Structure 1
């Protein structure tokens, strides 16, 4: 049996579900396909190991989709401050006061109530599924993998594992960094594997929920703290947080082999002194870090969004925000194409999407790699440079606020100092 739709979205994660909801609200008939079952939410459960820092721009988009209230009704933690500091000690450090290597971004300085929210990925996905289910023109086909895609006679056909077939004018690949849709479209990628891995640890700590997220930079990589929510009546006086520890694959493997008690002791010693007193480790996971960019965002009647099109260094948790920006852009372009009576998969329509999104995604890649290369070394001149840079950011509110506004999704333009630094980094001209 063949079902016909305007658009088929393969991948029902955060970006795919957002785009399905947005297109459904515009009146497109949409099928959203994913091998995984519908996400669930248990208010008494420990937090999802995967969390994201949703920017103010992403919040506005999720509000427009009708998903944000669902998310707030589950769990979301606002953060009002973001701090960055250099923890690398070197003889040159003695030439500078301790405060010179610290910078803090504060929502109050931007006349904002908060900088963003820390939200579990499963909560964001669940909120978006609820919004998608409310759209009559959106059909969710969970538990169905894709076996193949063919493009003939002005349409694309998607074969499903259950033997059914979907026909559509346009196929959107939102199926992640290892995208099968991208492979089926014959779209290659450029990829750079970093020499680090990231370990994510869900913890409980003593004290109230904090309103700050921070990263301390070490030569081996940053160590980050992301506040979550109160641990509840079962753990009075405690709150939950997500920690991220970047290091070499060998060191991450050693940390993973430790018991929870031993790992907690290592974290308490190795993390900056600002880390509150930990009381319990609830979960842990690790993953390699890679920068990846599709050589093209579309091929025929297939177009890519989110991690299927690009992945970046997760240094500031910006990956999903870029994906939401892809979704907003593509939704707007497809709406205009339909209004003008054009084929949704017309080459010029999809080229317009890539023309807008590729430079924006490259800018964020530049920014994350600039920070990565600047902080992940102990070369004395570079060490001095980054301390001076942090000191300048601390002393110049205008420059600091430019960076904050870019990270929040308020401004589209990368601050000039980051553009200049990124232009000197190896390999970025190939993105």
Structure 2
């Protein structure tokens, strides 16, 4: 096999959290795997520095990362458990409170920097003899062949594979070159992310206040700071980003009703445009999309990467089942098994979050009053709250093996 014409059983395009997790899940199963990623993961950072990009990992994601031998390293790099969640409505007045103790759990999940998750997974990939990390590298073109796919890299190398997996984000080039259309819409909102210091302790609680212009979330960090995700309509986001640090901190404190005292911006701010996006199909013969390449979701419930990890786990399981039954891992039977398992659940979550966004974005009566009443009733219905918490903890039925609890519940 020449350096200019490389053959692999499986090529993953995109080595972020989801793509790296999927490649790690297939390691040791007899595949020759290539992973293509434009940027090396960040290897080190100053002590006490918190990245702007964090994820709220569910228990299902945690179990998957444990089984991929990445969780212990993530704990070393830094993971912040949150034990409670408090949500309230700025207009309707309702609120709901979740406590891990109510379901006999030590926490509801962990807040982890994205770079820590990616680095822990990459270190596992670097130790795997059956995975070739091609980084920095990027594809420039691809075409279907009789035996699968031919990829051309920007440096001139050509790669061949029967099975191509696109994990290259919501602006996926793999999806575009494969001719897979998407449906959805822009929200006209931006998510402003930053880190803040709080006057009072965050109580290891994830806080979220629904404002008419978008939800404001504070996620607790182990050192006492919080990571914020402030989703705001474009005009409001432009105002917030134009403020100096003191003015932004004062506006943030006021928008959060001073629940934790004064909030002080600690470092830079960044903003990401928000959209709902869903691929009209996840698979073609010899091709599958996972993570944000398949779906992009509003961040108000922090489900984006958790959905992506479930995609990776389900596709890995579909390939394992295919091999055990003598079917082709690249065949449509195999790939549609994955698509059937994930597309409906992802679509339901996308539209549920869209519904919450639209519901809480209305400040007119009587809707605001009914919304507040609904929150108060839900807060008092313990079985309904338990269903919400079970979902967040990954205790429900139908999870792929990598994400399931070790013992039945």
TM-score norm. by structure 1 comes to 0.88
Residues 78-108 of structure 1: CA deviation (Å, up to 9, x unaligned): 001011111116xxx6xxxxxxx11111111
CA distance, structure 1, for counterparts of residue 357 and residue 389 of structure 2: 18
Partners of 2:147 and 2:161 within 8 A in 1? no
Partners of 2:201 and 2:260 within 8 A in 1? no
Q: Which residue of 1 aligns with 2:316?
A: 331
Partners of 2:88 and 2:208 within 8 A in 1? yes
Residues 43-67 of structure 1: CA deviation (Å, up to 9, x unaligned): 5152111111000000000000001
The answer to whether residue 163 in structure 2 is matched with residue 158 in structure 1 is no
Which of 191, 209, 231 in structure 2 is aligned with 1:246? Answer: 231
Q: Which residue of 1 aligns with 2:292?
A: 307
CA distance, structure 1, for counterparts of residue 295 and residue 79 of structure 2: 26
Shift of 1:41: 2.6
Shift of 1:14: 0.3
CA distance, structure 2, for counterparts of residue 365 and residue 218 of structure 1: 20
Residues 230-280 of structure 1: CA deviation (Å, up to 9, x unaligned): 1xxxxxxxx321112222211111111111122112211222321343344
Partners of 2:35 and 2:133 within 8 A in 1? yes
- The equivalences for 1:23-422 within 5 A come to 23-44=26-47, 46-88=49-91, 101-208=94-201, 210-230=203-223, 239-412=224-397
CA distance, structure 2, for counterparts of residue 376 and residue 263 of structure 1: 22
Gaps of 5+ in 2: 399-409
CA distance, structure 2, for counterparts of residue 209 and residue 26 of structure 1: 44
Q: Which residue of 2 aligns with 1:425?
A: none
Change (3 A) 1:206 1:191: same
Q: Which residue of 1 aligns with 2:402?
A: none
Shift of 1:209: 5.8
Shift of 1:181: 0.3
Partners of 2:248 and 2:265 within 8 A in 1? no
CA distance, structure 2, for counterparts of residue 412 and residue 312 of structure 1: 22
Shift of 1:299: 2.1
Aligned pair count reads: 395
Q: Which residue of 2 aligns with 1:10?
A: 13
Q: Structure 1: which 4+ aligned runs deviate by more than 6 Å?
A: none
Shift of 1:195: 3.1
Gaps of 5+ in 1: 94-100, 231-238, 414-431
CA distance, structure 1, for counterparts of residue 58 and residue 261 of structure 2: 25
Q: CA RMSD in A?
A: 1.6
Partners of 2:196 and 2:265 within 8 A in 1? yes
Which of 21, 25, 33 in structure 2 is aligned with 1:22? Answer: 25
